[in-house]
Amino acid sequence: MTNSRRNFLQKLTASFIALPLLSTKSYANIEKDITGIFYDGPVLRVAIMGLGSYGTRVADAIQACTKVKLVGAISGTPSKLTAWQSKYTIPEKNCYNYENFDAIKDNPDIDAVYIITPNALHKEQTIRVAKAGKHVICEKPMALNAKEGEAMIAACKKANVKLLVGYRMHFEPKTLEVIRMRNAGEMGKVLFFQGLCGFRIGDPTQWRLNKDLAGGGSMMDIGIYAVNGSRYMVGEEPVWVTAQETKTDPVKFKEGVDETIQFQLGFPSGAVASCLSTYMMNGLDRFYLNAEKGFAEMQPSTGYGPIKGKTNKGELTQEHKTHQTVQMDEMAAIILEGKQPIVPVDGEEALKDLKIIDGIYAAVKSGRKVSLKL
Ligand code: NDP
């Protein structure tokens, strides 16, 4: 559907159908969904917090969603709020800054807030959004460590709101086909996973290289894809981790900001994973799964796509769809309809990754194998 037609339909929907229902939790979005089927189910009305590079990508992707509407924005930059109001037709009354966004609790037109700010802010912002009674979608990494993650989960439980984390790969069709094959036994017993995730980072002044805002270095940002990917590709939870760090540029990568970490995970079945997380090598985006009767090879494996890959059955041919559009429609179904995703995307799922990352940093520090209890 073209943007102009979509905008027209949205305006039509808002003015003729939705307005009388705006005070209810959600309202119907009368149009066709991505399968071409007429959709008049509930719509999740989302505000984005943090109008940066990924926030903008998500906002653009939401324009093609059936079950999600971008209705609000929270930012520390007034000029961005003005620009978003006109670009995405967001009413001024749904715009907030970081000081006053607790008032969102009195705004019946917003159901959920998608937090897309630097990592160190996720915990406090999630707890505030939960206290305001709104569902939380939070970007990865959910927090800086497991302790923070636990506090976020507890706050959302207490407020009776959902906490989801932006694991867009959990809805990616080629990834899901590999998971289906593995679960169906089409590859036999899984023996080994390799995850290589990295890029060469630029500007040394960006928040990603500031420990206070990032909570670490490449591991928090890109290595987490190998951590999470190990779990969904192997299909088990790891029980131990070993890790080694190397640093070639201690000026750019200061104390506590990891440049390159290699880590290994052991799983209950005896399967092992060997992974690399780096801010120093370009174009590292590869997953390889080895099993007794088959394999899966994906490259790129976690970028914005299209994901490319093959298995022992041949090329993966599932259609590419914008990850964030699919993610948001699926998350709306989880929040509004209680849909169960094939791979979880909730706070508990993200907590497991944080426990592994805690273990990786502990293993780097001690040089020892660390036991994991997920
Ligand atoms: P950006 O730097 O592009 O944007 C972050 C935004 O957060 C800023 O533009 C700003 O928006 C807001 N912000 C609030 N406080 C600060 C602060 N102290 N310093 C800097 N920015 C601040 O980062 P990204 O959008 O790339 O990343 C944001 C989050 O999204 C991270 O947690 C990251 O890991 C995650 N991410 C996830 C991806 C995925 O594929 N799932 C891909 C990329 C990022 P404003 O001016 O509106 O306040």
Q: Answer yes or no: 225 catalytic.
A: yes
b/e per residue 319-332 (b: at least 16 CB within 10 A): eebbbbbbbbbbbb
Q: How far is ligand 1, taken at its centre, from the CA of residue 221, in Å?
A: 11
Domain end point (choices 167, 193, 210): 167
Residues 6+ apart with CB under 8 A from 277: 197, 198, 218, 219, 222, 223, 224, 226, 258, 260, 261, 262, 263
pLDDT at residue 37, rounded to an integer? 60
* Containing structural domain, residue 17: 3-27
As a whole number of angstroms, the longest Cα–Cα distance in the chain is 64
Pocket of ligand 1 contains residue 81 by CB under 6 Å: no
Interacting residues of 191 by C-beta distance below 8 A, sequence separation 6+: 270, 271, 272, 290, 291, 292
The verdict on residue 49 lying in a domain is: yes
Domain total in the chain: 3
Task: Indicate whether 246 and 350 sit together in one domain.
Answer: yes
Best of 51, 53, 54, 75 for a ligand 1 pocket test (most atoms within 8 Å of beta carbon): 54
319 and 187 share one domain: yes
pTM exceeds cut of 0.85 = yes
Query: Is there a single domain that holds both residue 223 and residue 367?
Result: yes
pLDDT at 190: 98
- Contact 53 CB / ligand 1 (< 6 Å): yes
71 and 192, same domain (yes or no): no
CATH code: domain of residue 350: 3.30.360.10
For 36: left if phi > 0, alpha if psi spans -120 to 50, otherwise beta; the answer is left
List the CATH number of the domain containing 135: 3.40.50.720
Q: Are residue 231 and residue 116 in the same domain, yes or no?
A: no
Residue nearest to atom 10 of ligand 1 (CA): 50
Dist. CA 121 → ligand 1 center (Å): 10
Q: Is the CB of 118 under 6 A from ligand 1?
A: yes
Output the tens digit of pLDDT for each of the chain's 374 residues. 334 334 434 433 433 333 333 333 444 555 555 555 668 899 999 999 999 999 999 999 999 999 999 999 999 999 999 999 999 999 999 999 999 999 999 999 999 999 999 999 999 999 999 999 999 999 999 999 999 999 999 999 999 999 999 999 999 999 999 999 999 999 999 999 999 999 999 999 999 999 999 999 999 999 999 999 999 999 999 999 999 999 999 999 999 999 999 999 999 999 999 999 999 999 999 999 999 999 999 999 999 999 999 999 999 999 999 999 999 999 999 999 999 999 999 999 999 999 999 999 999 999 999 999 99
Instruction: Using the 3D structure, point to which of 129, 149, 167 is the last residue of a domain.
Output: 167
- Residue whose CA is at the smallest distance from ligand 1 atom 9: 52
Between CA 306 and CA 316 the distance in angstroms is: 11
Residues 234 and 356 in one domain: yes
Residues 148 and 133 in one domain: yes
Check whether residue 305 and residue 159 sit in a common domain. Answer: no
Radius of gyration of the chain (CA): 21
Q: Could you tell me if the CB of 76 is within 6 A of ligand 1?
A: yes
* 32 in a structural domain: no
Strand partners, 136: 113, 163
Token pair of 368 as six digits: 């020892």
